[in-house]
Chains A and B, each alone.
Chain A
Amino acid sequence: MNIAIEQQQGRDKAGVWGPAARMLLGLSLLLGIAYPLAVTGVAQVLMPHAANGSLIVKDGKTVGSALIGQNFQRADEFWSRPSATGGSAYNGAGSGGSNLGPSNPALHKVVAERIAALKAAGPVPVGPVPQDLVTASASGLDPHISLAAALYQIPRVAQQRKLDAARLRALIDAHTEHGWFGDNARVNVLQLNMALPR
């Protein structure tokens, strides 16, 4: 069909392929090489910390990123959210969610198991479990838990570390961030665990 149209227009093939090739090549160099390299250059000069992963260095060694969660499982630490990343939990090279649908029995089963594991690990407050503590995040790398989820873990961590609950509460408050409208109170788990007294 294309050829028919071209004959109709009385133009040879190079009339279309020529500009198409020049445009693709030229714009690829500009938008695919020059643009990302220029942005990389500016970012590396002006904002190297952010451009390289917002890494947290402790005693000269990298221990994590302020933006990426880690898989805390010990009873004496605050736990992160469940993670569905590929390979292992909190795999920073295999992001992803569970993609379990709301009606899927597999979701209900795994949530029930997580609730049981939380309760088996130590004392918990009475009442319902904060939902984010038993559901997987979208990226599998969520650095945060909700404020409620942090408070829910105080009894366990306090018992394990033989710390005063009020002291943990103060620590959590110091690490609580809020959304723009005062809602969505949350805690960065890695930074909270780093701040725990030894």
Chain B
Amino acid sequence: MISFSLLMALFMALLTLSVRPMGAWMAPLAAGSLPSRWQALDAWLLKLFGVDGRGMNWREYALAVLTFSLLGLLALYALQRLQGVLPLNPQQMGAVEAGSAFNTAVSFVTNTNWQGYAGESTMSYLTQMLGLAVQNFLSAATGIAVAFALMRGFARRESADLGNFWADVLRVSVYLLLPLSCVLALLLVSQGVLQNLSGYISFTGLSGQVQTLAMGPVASQEAIKMLGTNGGGFFNANSAHPFENPSDLSNLLQMLAIFLIPAGLTHTFGRMVGDKRQGWAIYLAMSVMFVAAAYALAYFELQGNPLLTALGVESVAGNMEGKEIRFGVVGSALFATITTAASCGAVNAMHDSFTALGGMVPMWLMQLGEVVFGGVGSGLYGMLIFAVLAVFIAGLMVGRTPEYLGKKIEAFEMKMVALVILVTPLLVLLGTAVAVVAAPGLAGLANPGAHGFSEVLYAFSSAANNNGSAFAGLSANTAFYNALLGIAMWFGRFAIIVPVLALAGSLAAKKTLPQTAGSMPTHGALFVALLVGSVLLVGALTYLPALALGPIVEHLTIWSGR
């Protein structure tokens, strides 16, 4: 626990230091008004892409999001199906099977990056670069753009203008994601992450056995995989693979990269609404839940597996099945918390082999709706939905019309909030229920008993909340799971984005009321506690019964000695 606390302290210190500069970097992009020295370049870029930059109302904005995503889906599907006849394919990978190609296309377009395939034996370099990595950028930019639109909803008064989606995506991609990715990619290469276009190499190892090593342009993809909270690994083992994540430093960089933009956006939000404390309150609420979850996960993993101890295995190291030595339990537990608190889904350890309760923590973090930092953009707009819920509950308690940041919260807003909060539990619980009674669903289980149920619950929690990590024993590359999880991912993304934009449109149209002595302050400790309470309460009430059937039963079985 001491080294875990040291790593946690280092991580939180670096992250907190990054919040203000990152927030300031993104603020002009959110406001849509760049500093004057960039305006000539910006005008040229918009012209190059034929984007007029005209303001959109929420319906136009939503339509642009959906159209862009749908087109991305079709392009990525086509690329996977045609990769066999396209260049940059030294291993001569054939066309990806149709069901898997559909699932993967949905997965990357929705910023989920659930992976039903093994990268090194399925995808050509061209598909990785031009397909998967491009959607890593674009789905991330889309999420950030939607968060910008919601910020504008709070910041603007009596306006229909939420900004221009095309200009937002273009600016976020070119001014934010691309430069960050270039720097991170080269830092990762310096640690030993691959970056080449060679075919796989084979040689005779030290004791005479032939070994083949997969190659590829890994670092460039790894960088945006983390920065865009995408999480889809170049290789099957994801960030556990030494060629994706070779050292202590690469592990820390990857963990920081996951939270960098979601954390910075809280500050951007504060600047946009003209009160930085509002952003810090959100950051604090997220941090409290994150740190608590990380300690819980580390505690359970360090306890180890008593059933192995009974066989004569030492337990000081904690539970090491499915973990890498260079990360140990400490570096794996922190990474697992970060990747599921954010909707990243990259893994540096196999979550399926975590202890029962250790595996429940990432599952529950996803089920909270990916709002503890969450995905780039999506984490902030998800958390703001809970903030609206929190002021609504507080308003009910004291009998006042709830307001947030000067905007009156009325029936239409609450309908959209309710919709957003209800969509993912519906997808998760319904999907899990279908899969555990249907024969093709049960056929995918790798582990027997309660753990098998956890595998399915984890899969739907991950898909519907656009995380992408897995209890990877589940054989999910089947027609059944490819279709069902594909649907969960699509609606888990866009059935949230559309009501969020509707909410943004409705808020932008309202007047901004002045703060009075009767207004509830939303930057203090009381509000932070209320916000954390709302998130945890909704998460607990929704998922505790299902969690009791999976990880909780498994934990009791293991520790009762059978």
Contact of B325 among A32, A46, A81, A128 (CB under 8 A): A81
B181 an interface residue at 8 Å Cβ cutoff?
A: yes
Closest to A63 in B: B206
Contact between B325 and A64, CB atoms less than 8 A apart: no
Bound-state CA distance A131–B320 (Å) is 7
Contact between B242 and A143, CB atoms less than 8 A apart: yes
Interface 0/1 of A1-33, CB less than 8 Å to B: 010011011000000111111111011101111
Contact between A131 and B206, CB atoms less than 8 A apart: no
Contact between A27 and B191, CB atoms less than 8 A apart: no
Residues of B contacting A148 in the complex (Cβ-Cβ under 8 angstroms): 314, 317
Bound-state CA distance A156–B322 (Å) is 26
Interface 0/1 of B104-129, CB less than 8 Å to A: 00000000000000101100000001
Closest to A129 in B: B313
Interface 0/1 of B520-553, CB less than 8 Å to A: 0000000000000000000000000000000000
Residues of A contacting B322 in the complex (Cβ-Cβ under 8 angstroms): 97-100, 135-138
Contact between A5 and B59, CB atoms less than 8 A apart: yes
Contact between B240 and A63, CB atoms less than 8 A apart: no
Closest to B558 in A: A103
Interface 0/1 of A43-71, CB less than 8 Å to B: 11011001111110000011111111011
Q: A36-B133, A92-B211 are in contact. List 13 more A-B contacts (CB 8 A).
A: A19-B50, A23-B169, A30-B178, A43-B196, A51-B189, A61-B204, A70-B211, A71-B207, A94-B236, A99-B471, A128-B313, A140-B237, A144-B325
Contact between B118 and A145, CB atoms less than 8 A apart: no
Residues of A contacting B42 in the complex (Cβ-Cβ under 8 angstroms): none
A contact patch SS: mixed
A179 an interface residue at 8 Å Cβ cutoff?
A: yes
Residues of A contacting B472 in the complex (Cβ-Cβ under 8 angstroms): 96-97, 99
Known contacts A77-B207, A94-B121; is A43 also within 8 Å of B313 by CB? no
Residues of A contacting B243 in the complex (Cβ-Cβ under 8 angstroms): 53, 67-68
B263 an interface residue at 8 Å Cβ cutoff?
A: no
Bound-state CA distance A75–B426 (Å) is 55
Closest to A65 in B: B213
Among B413-421, B445-453, B510-518, which stretch is in contact with chain A?
A: B445-453
Question: How many whole Å from A146's CB to the nearest CB in chain B?
Answer: 6
Contact between B118 and A146, CB atoms less than 8 A apart: no
| B-contacting residues, A124-142, CB 8 Å | 127-132, 134-142
Contact between B314 and A128, CB atoms less than 8 A apart: yes
Known contacts A65-B213, A144-B325, A180-B248; is A95 also within 8 Å of B237 by CB? yes
Among B60-68, B253-261, B402-410, which stretch is in contact with chain A?
A: B60-68
Q: List 10 A-B contacts (CB under 8 A).
A: A19-B49, A22-B50, A31-B173, A54-B246, A67-B192, A111-B311, A115-B313, A137-B240, A140-B237, A144-B326
Question: How many whole Å from B359's CB to the nearest CB in chain A?
Answer: 8
Question: How many whole Å from A64's CB to the nearest CB in chain B?
Answer: 5
Bound-state CA distance A193–B207 (Å) is 9
Contact between B314 and A31, CB atoms less than 8 A apart: no
Question: How many whole Å from B307's CB to the nearest CB in chain A?
Answer: 6
Contact between B68 and A23, CB atoms less than 8 A apart: yes
Contact between B350 and A99, CB atoms less than 8 A apart: yes
A120 an interface residue at 8 Å Cβ cutoff?
A: no
Question: How many whole Å from A117's CB to the nearest CB in chain B?
Answer: 13
Q: Please give the number of chain B residues whose Cβ is less than 8 angstroms from any Cβ of chain A in the complex.
A: 121
Interface 0/1 of B477-514, CB less than 8 Å to A: 00000000000000000000000000000000000000
Q: Which residues of B contact A (CB under 8 A)?
A: 2-3, 6-7, 48-51, 59-60, 63-64, 66-68, 71-72, 75, 118, 120-121, 129-131, 133-134, 137-138, 166, 169-170, 173-174, 178, 181-182, 185-186, 189-198, 200-201, 203-207, 209, 211-215, 217, 219-221, 224, 235-237, 240-243, 246, 248, 304-305, 307-309, 311-315, 317, 319-326, 328, 330-332, 347-350, 352-356, 446-451, 454-455, 471-473, 554, 557-558
Contact between B352 and A53, CB atoms less than 8 A apart: no
Contact between A107 and B321, CB atoms less than 8 A apart: yes
Residues of A contacting B49 in the complex (Cβ-Cβ under 8 angstroms): 19, 22-23, 26
Question: How many whole Å from B240's CB to the nearest CB in chain A?
Answer: 3
Residues of A contacting B326 in the complex (Cβ-Cβ under 8 angstroms): 142-144, 184, 186
**What is the count of residue pairs linking A and B with beta-carbon distances less than 8 angstroms?**
371
Most chain B CB neighbours (cut-off 10 Å) among A97, A98, A128: A97
Question: How many whole Å from A109's CB to the nearest CB in chain B?
Answer: 10
Closest to B213 in A: A92
Closest to A191 in B: B206
Bound-state CA distance A130–B304 (Å) is 13
Give 9 closest A-B pairs by Cβ, nearest first: A99-B473, A138-B240, A95-B237, A101-B451, A92-B213, A97-B350, A32-B130, A144-B325, A128-B314
Q: Please give the number of chain A residues whose Cβ is less than 8 angstroms from any Cβ of chain B in the complex.
A: 103
Bound-state CA distance A101–B558 (Å) is 11
Most chain B CB neighbours (cut-off 10 Å) among A67, A74, A112: A67
Known contacts A44-B196, A63-B203, A100-B473; is A36 also within 8 Å of B129 by CB? yes
Contact between B207 and A72, CB atoms less than 8 A apart: yes
Bound-state CA distance A23–B557 (Å) is 54
Question: How many whole Å from A60's CB to the nearest CB in chain B?
Answer: 12
Question: How many whole Å from B143's CB to the nearest CB in chain A?
Answer: 15
Question: How many whole Å from A115's CB to the nearest CB in chain B?
Answer: 6
Most chain B CB neighbours (cut-off 10 Å) among A31, A70, A194: A31
Residues of B contacting A183 in the complex (Cβ-Cβ under 8 angstroms): 3, 328, 330
Known contacts A36-B221, A102-B319; is A21 also within 8 Å of B71 by CB? yes
Known contacts A16-B64, A23-B49, A36-B221; is A111 also within 8 Å of B308 by CB? yes
Residues of A contacting B51 in the complex (Cβ-Cβ under 8 angstroms): 19, 22-23
A158 an interface residue at 8 Å Cβ cutoff?
A: no
Contact of B207 among A35, A70, A99 (CB under 8 A): A70
Contact between B186 and A43, CB atoms less than 8 A apart: yes
Residues of A contacting B190 in the complex (Cβ-Cβ under 8 angstroms): 47, 50
Contact between A132 and B325, CB atoms less than 8 A apart: yes
Known contacts A21-B71, A101-B451, A138-B323; is A8 also within 8 Å of B64 by CB? no
Contact between A136 and B321, CB atoms less than 8 A apart: yes
A190 an interface residue at 8 Å Cβ cutoff?
A: yes
Contact of A179 among B130, B189, B224, B248 (CB under 8 A): B248
Residues of A contacting B305 in the complex (Cβ-Cβ under 8 angstroms): 102
Known contacts A70-B211, A184-B330; is A138 also within 8 Å of B347 by CB? yes
Most chain A CB neighbours (cut-off 10 Å) among B59, B174, B350, B454: B350
Residues of B contacting A26 in the complex (Cβ-Cβ under 8 angstroms): 48-49
Residues of B contacting A28 in the complex (Cβ-Cβ under 8 angstroms): 75, 130, 134
Contact between B324 and A64, CB atoms less than 8 A apart: no
Contact between A108 and B311, CB atoms less than 8 A apart: yes
Residues of B contacting A50 in the complex (Cβ-Cβ under 8 angstroms): 189-193
Bound-state CA distance A186–B237 (Å) is 21
